[in-house]
Structure 1
Amino acid sequence: MRGPHNIVRLIRTGATFERTGAMQVVLDAFEAPKPLRILARTLGWPFKWLGYKGDPSMPPATRALTALGPAYIKFGQVLSTRPDVVGQDMAQQLRVLQDQLPPFSRDEAIAQVERELGQPVSQIYSEFSEPIAAASIAQVHRARLVDSGREVAVKVLRPGIERAFNKDVDAFYFAARIADLFAPGARRLKPMDVIEHFDGVVQGELDLRLESAAASEFAANTKGDEGFQLPEILWNYSARRVMTLGWADGLPIGDNAALDAAGHDRADLARRVLSLFLRHALRDGYFHADMHQGNMKVAANGDIIAYDFGIMGHIDEYTRRVYAEILYGFIRRDYKRVAEVHFEAGYVPNDRDVDEFARALRAVGEPIFGMDATRISMGRLLSYLFEVTERFGMETRTELILLQRTMVVVEGVARSLDPKMNIWHVAKPIVEDYIKQSLGPRALLSDLTKAALVLARFGPRLPGLVQNRLIEQSAPPEPARYWRWAPLIIMLLGGALGGALVSLLLDHFG
C-alpha cells in the first residue's frame, strides 16, 4: 500500500511549506479553492514553528523546494516553464531556483562509472577530478581519456536518484488526485496533466542515453550553423547513468568583462544567440530549451558553445508554420492576418468573431511597437498573446508555452550582452526566410511530392486494400451503393499514379 507513505510525504511537504512561509504563496499562485486551502493549511499548520525555515534571502517557494530535495527542485524548474499554471510572478521566481546541491563523493561516482561501463576507471580515464558542478539529478567531473589523452566531461547520475524521484512523483500523483477530489474548481489547471508532463521530463533526464541521443540529434541538425558548436558525445564511454562528452573550453557567456578582455564582439554574440535559437525552433522544430548563461560558453574563435541537453523543445512542422505566420504578422503589424491564422489553425473556436479578435491582437501589438527598441520583447509579446487567446477560448499548448519561456531566457541572455539590440531587426530576416521556404510555391510542391511518394509506396497494396474493404461490407442490393467507394478508389489510384509520376521525374532529373 503506497497510500500511507504518500500521505506522510504530503504532510512533510505541507510542513516544509508552512515553515518556510511558502504555503500561502503557492495556494495563491494556483488560485486554490477554499476546500483545498483548508486541507493544505490543516496538514501543515502543526509543524509551522518547527525546524528548517531556510535562507531568508530566497523567495519562500524557492526556499521550500530547495529544502525538500532534488525531486522538488526539478519540479520547480519544470513549473517555471508553465506560467499558464502557476502565473507569471511565480514562474519568474522559480526560474532562479537554486540547482546547486551538495555533491556526492568522487569514489561513489567512480564506482557508478565502473558499473555502467563494465571496466575499471583507470582503463578509461587517466585523470578523473572531484565534482566540478552538482545539480538535482547528476553531477559533472572533468576527466582525460587514456587512449587519446582527450579532455572530457563526465556526467554521472546521483546514486539512488531514480528510486527517490519515483517515490516523490508517486506522491505528486496522489496529491493531484486529492486536488481533483476535494477541489473540482482546480481541475481547470489540469493537475494530473501537469504531473504527467513533469514525469515525462524527469524520466527522460534519468536516462542519460536519451540526453546523449538528444545532443546527437541537435548536433546533426546544427552542424552547418556558422559560429555554433556542440561538444561531441562519446558513445563508447556513455550508458544509462553515465555520459561522456568532449570538454567545452571557453569563457562563460555571462561574463562580460572576460568577453571584452578577450576581444569578443558582444553585440555580434547577442545577435547570434537570438538568431540561432529562432533558426533551430523554426527550421528544425528542435531547440535547446534551457539556453541560460550557465549552459553556454564562447570559444576562443568566437563560436558559441551550448551544452546540457536535459531539456529540449520540439515543435511539429505544422505548428512551426503557424507560429512563423503569427510572428510575421506581428512584425508587419497585420493583425487581421494574425487573427485569421489562429482561426485557420483551430486555436480559437470558430464561433468567435475574427474582427473582434484582430482588435484584441492590435491592443497587444501596438504598445510593444511603440516602445523603444531596447524594450521590445518577443517573449513579452507571446506572453500577452497567450493571455488574449485564453480569453477567446484557446486551449493551452504546452509546446508553445515552453517556446515562449525559452524565448524569454534567450532574450535575457542577448540583452545582457547588448542592451541596445533590436529584437525585431534580428528576427525579421529569419522569419521571412522561413516563410519563403515553408509557405511558398516550393513548399507546396514539396508537400505534394511527399504525399505522392507515401501513396506510391502503398501502390502495390492498393487493389488488395480496396478489395478487402469491399468484401467486409455486405453486398448492397442496389448498384447505387457502390458509388460510395468511387471517391476512395479514385483518390488511391490517383495517388499511386501521381507518386509513380513523381518518382519517374525524380529519377529523370535527379
Structure 2
Amino acid sequence: MVVLLRLITISRVFWRYRLDQLIPPGQLPWTARLLLLPCKLRPAPRMSRGERLRRALEDLGPIFIKFGQLLSTRPDLVPADMVEDLNRLQDKVPPFDKDHFRRLVETGLGESVDTVFASYEKEPLASASVAQVHGAVLHNGQRVVIKIVRPGIERVIEQDVRLLMLLARTIEHYSVDGKRLHPVDVVKDYRNTIFDELDLQREAANASQLRRNFQDSALLYVPEIYWDYTRNNVLVMERIHGIPVTHIDELQAQGTDMKALAERGVEIFFKQVFEHNFFHADMHPGNIFVATENPEYPKYIAVDMAIVGSLTREDQYYLARNLIAMFRRDYRQVAELHVQSGWVPEGTRVEELEAAVRTVCEPIFEKPLKEISFGHLLMSLFRTARRFDMEVQPQLVLLQKTLLNIEGLGRQLYPDLDLWVTAHPFLERWLKNRFSPKALWAQTQRYAPEWLEKFPQVPELIFGGLQQLQNMGELAPQLRAANEEFNRQRIARRRNRRRTVIGILAIVGAAATAWPSIGDQISSWTHQVDWTDLPAQSWGLLVLGLGALLLRK
C-alpha cells in the first residue's frame, strides 16, 4: 500500500511539472507514448526545463535529489542549461524550520544552545538533501558548524527504498539482463549506505579516519571533529573557508593552477582507493572546496564524509592490474584478469573478450577528456557486458559512482586533462610498492602476532591431517567394496527392466504374428508414415527381432 501511494505521488509530481516534455518522443516505445498522452491535457509551468526537473526532484525527496546531484556532474549527458539548475541541489535545498533545528540540537546535546556555544547563527549555512548546517562559535573561540539530519526523513527514504526494491525485483525477474546486473543487491547496498548517512556519529568517525590519512598532506584537508559535542543525531566540526570547486571564475581570479587542481583531484582519488583503501564516496561538487592559500599549488578541502567505501585486497589488485593493462593497451591481459577475478564466467573465450575490450577501449586513448564521449563508451561497455554475461559487482557500485563524480569534476575544472596519463604512473608505482620487500615486511609485522598465536597448534593440525589420510587409506577397501556392490545392484535393476520390456515386446510380436487382424491394425496406425508396405505379419516379426536383439545385450 505504501509503495502504491508513493507511485501516485511520483505520478502527480511528473504531471505537475510536465516532465514528459524533457524526454524526446522518438526515444520512447509506443506503449509509453500512449500512457503519457493524458499529460498533454495540462499546460507546462512557466519555468525552464532545468528548474522544472530540479523542483520535481526536490519535491520527491532525498533519494531523487541525490540522483539529480549525480546528473549535475555529467555535462556530457545533460544539457548545459539543466546542469546549471541541477547544481543548486548540492547545498541549496529548501531548509526546514530554524526553530525546529534549534530544538533538535538541544535535545541531542541535552543542553541549551546558549550554554554549549558562545554564539549561534539562526540562518542555515547550507541545506542539503539529508541534513542542514548552521554556524556557531565555541566558548574557546573556535568557529564550528552544527549538522542535523532532516526530521522525518527516515520514513520518506524507507518508502523510496521499498519502491526501488519492487522495481529491482521486477527487473531481475523479467529482464534478460536482470540476474547479471544484480539490481536487488545494488538496492540493498544503497539502502545500507543511505541509512548509514543518517548516523552522524558514523560520519564523524569517517571524517576522523580520513583526516588521519591526509594528516599534513599538501593535497587534501579534512576538518576536525569535536567529539564532546557529537552524537548520532548531532555533529559539530571545524568550520572551513574555501572556494566551492564549481566556482570556476573565483578560482581563476585568484590565479589557481587549474591543470594542477584537476591532476591533484585524480591523485587524491587513487591515493584513497589504493593506498588507504578508504575513499570518500560522495564527492559531488557541493562537498568539495579549494583552499585560498597557495593557488599555484591548490589544496582541496572535503566535507560530508557520511558515505565512504573500501575494497577487498583482491578487488584492489584486480582493479589496479586491469587499469594498468588498459593503459598499456594489453587487452589480452584485461580479458584474462576478468576471467581470473570471476567477473565473467569461467568458460569465457579469452580471445573473443580481448577483441571486444579492444574495440571499446582503443578509441579513448591519446585524447583529452573533452573529446571523449563517455556516454558512448558506457553504452559500448554495456553491450560487451551483456554479450559475455559480465556480472555487476555490487561491492564496486560506490567506486563506480565516485568515478563518475571525479570524471564530471575533472571535465569542469580542466577539460584538456588526460586522465590516463595522470593515473598511469600512480598505479604503476602502487603495484610495484605492493610487492616490495618493505611492504612484505610490513605485512609480516602486522600478522606476526596472529601467526605466533596459532603456531603451537600447527603440529597438532599436521598430525591430525596425517591421521585422517591414514584413516581414509584404511577405509579405501571398504569404500571400493561398497561401490562395487552399488554397481552390481544398479546393473541388476537395469537387467530386470530390460527383461520386462523384452517380455512385453515378445507378447506383442507373437500376437501380431499369430493374429493378422492385430497386424492389420498396427499397419493402419502407421499409414501416415508410409510404412504400410510391410505385411501385417511382418510387424510381429520385427517386434520379435527387436526383442532378440535386446536379449543379446
When normalised by structure 2's length, the TM-score is: 0.71
Aligned residues: 465
Q: Structure 2 unaligned runs (5+)?
A: 477-553
Structure 1 residue 121 displacement after superposition: 0.6
Q: Which residue of 2 aligns with 1:393?
A: 389
Matched-pair contact (CA < 8 Å) for 1:177–1:192: yes
1:9 equivalenced with 2:6 (yes/no): yes
Output the CA distance in 1 between the equivalents of 2:71 and 2:26: 11
- Trace 1:90-129 onto structure 2 (pairs within 5 A): 98=89, 100-129=92-121
Q: Who is 1:413 aligned against?
A: 409
Is residue 2:418 matched to residue 1:425?
no
| Alpha-carbon distance in structure 2 between the residues aligned to 1:395 and 1:101 | 36
Q: Out of 346, 362, 365, which is 1:366 matched to?
A: 362
**Distance in structure 2 (CA, Å) of the matches to 1:263 and 1:364:** 38
Contact kept? 1:18, 1:45, Cα under 8 Å: no
Q: Which residue number in structure 2 is paired with residue 57 of structure 1?
A: 49
8 A contact 2:331–2:358 mirrored in 1: yes
* Structure 1: distance between partners of 2:28 and 2:200: 36
Contact 2:433 2:439 in 1 (8 A): yes
- Distance apart, 1:203 and its partner CA: 0.6
Contact kept in structure 2, 1:125 and 1:144, CA below 8 Å: yes
Structure 1 pair 30–89 and aligned structure 2 pair: CA distance change class (3 A): farther
Structure 1 stretches of 5 or more lacking a match? 482-510
1:145 matched to which residue of 2?
138
Moved more, 240-249 or 334-343: 334-343
Cα offsets for 1:456-488 (capped at 9, x unmatched): 3223445677789999x999485477xxxxxxx
Contact 1:156 1:242 in 2 (8 A): yes
Contact 1:378 1:407 in 2 (8 A): no
Shift of 1:292: 3.2
Q: Which is worse superposed, 63-72 or 437-446?
A: 437-446
Shift of 1:417: 2.9
Q: Please tell me whether the aligned partners of residues 68 and 89 of structure 2 are also in contact (alpha carbons under 8 angstroms).
A: no
RMSD of aligned Cα (Å) = 4.2
2:337 paired residue among 341, 344, 347: 341
For residues 321-355 of structure 1, what are the alpha-carbon distances to aligned partners after superposition, in whole Å with 9 as ceiling and x for unaligned?
Answer: 11111111122222222222222212222322212
- Which amino acid counterpart does residue 89 of structure 2 have in structure 1? Q
Q: Indicate how the Cα distance of structure 1 residues 24 and 71 shifts in structure 2: closer, same or farther if over 3 A, else same.
A: same
Are 1:403 and 2:419 an aligned pair?
Answer: no
TM superposition shift of 1:261: 2.9
Q: Cα 1:318–1:27, aligned 2, differ >3 Å: closer, same or farther?
A: farther
Distance 1:153 1:97, change over 3 A: closer
Deviations 1:403-432 (A, max 9, x none): 333223223323433333332332122111
* CA distance in structure 2 between the aligned counterparts of 1:343 and 1:179, rounded to whole angstroms: 26
Amino acid at match of 2:136: A
For the Cα contact (< 8 Å) 1:321–1:439, is it kept in 2?
no
- In the alignment, structure 1 residue 132 sits paired with structure 2 residue 128: no
Amino acid at match of 2:237: L
Distance change (3 Å), C-alpha of 1:320 and 1:25:
farther
CA positional deviation for 1:368: 1.4
* Correspondence 1:205-244 to 2 at 5 A: 205-244=197-236
TM-score (norm 1): 0.76
The correspondence for 2:152, drawn from 139, 160, 168, is: 160
Aligned-partner SS, 1:243: strand
Q: CA deviation at 1:433?
A: 0.9
Shift of 1:67: 2.6
Residue equivalent to 2:353: 357
> How has the CA–CA distance of structure 1 residues 375 and 48 changed in structure 2, closer, same or farther, with 3 Å as cutoff?
closer
Q: Which has the larger radius of gyration?
A: 2
Compared with structure 1, are the counterparts of its residues 51 and 242 closer, same or farther at alpha carbon in structure 2 (3 Å cutoff)?
A: farther
Change beyond 3 A, Cα 1:168–1:395: closer
1:169 paired residue number: 161
Q: Distance in 1 between matches of 2:2 and 2:129?
A: 23
State the secondary structure of the residue aligned to 1:308.
coil
56-65 or 225-234: which moved more? 56-65
Q: Call closer, same or farther: CA 1:167–1:326 in 2, change over 3 Å.
A: closer
Match of 1:319 among 301, 315, 321: 315
Instruction: Give me the whole-angstrom Cα distance separating, in 2, the residues matched to 1:45 and 1:33.
Output: 11
Are 1:201 and 2:197 counterparts? no
Give 3-state SS (helix, strand or coil) of 1:394's partner.
coil
Secondary structure of 1:219's counterpart equals: helix
Give 1:113 deviation, angstroms: 0.6
> Which amino acid counterpart does residue 211 of structure 1 have in structure 2?
E
Deviations 1:163-208 (A, max 9, x none): 3333443454455556678x56684454433432331122111111
- Residue identity over aligned pairs, in percent, reads 34
- Candidates 251, 272, 275, aligned match of 2:264: 272
Look up the SS of the partner of 1:140 in the other structure.
Answer: strand
One-letter code of the match for 2:287? N
Q: Distance in 1 between matches of 2:273 and 2:375?
A: 14
